[in-house]
């Protein structure tokens, strides 16, 4: 089975708001990674308005497929 994950970069100043929105939305995400200038958030895109918003607003680091 193949699924796609996406990594975005969120600045420190906006992280708490985005973290709360992701956790309450039901979007599948992985542990957040702290970087010197912000946070790296990895999640599995779904047909969800929050995912679309995040992809448009923040820098996408990588979009790749994983095979189970």
pLDDT in tens, 44-68: 877 788 888 888 898 887 655 555 5
Strands (E), the chain: 2-11, 33-35, 38-43, 59-67
Domain-wise residue ranges, the chain: 2-67
CATH 2.10.260 applies to domain 2-67: no
- CB contact at 8 A, 54 and 18: yes
- CB contact at 8 A, 41 and 57: no
Residue 21 pLDDT = 92
pLDDT per residue as tens digits for the range 1-21: 556 788 899 999 999 999 999
- CB contact at 8 A, 3 and 36: no
Distances (CA, A) of 11 to 2, 3, 6: 30, 26, 17
Residue 56 pLDDT = 87
pLDDT per residue as tens digits for the range 32-43: 999 999 999 988
């Amino acid at each position: 089975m193949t699924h796609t994950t996406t990594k975005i970069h969120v600045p420190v100043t906006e992280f708490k708001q985005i973290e709360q929105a992701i956790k309450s939305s039901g979007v599948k995400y992985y542990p957040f990674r702290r970087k010197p200038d912000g946070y790296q958030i990895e999640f599995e895109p779904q047909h969800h308005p929050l995912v679309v918003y995040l992809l448009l607003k923040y820098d996408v680091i990588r979009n790749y497929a994983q095979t189970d």
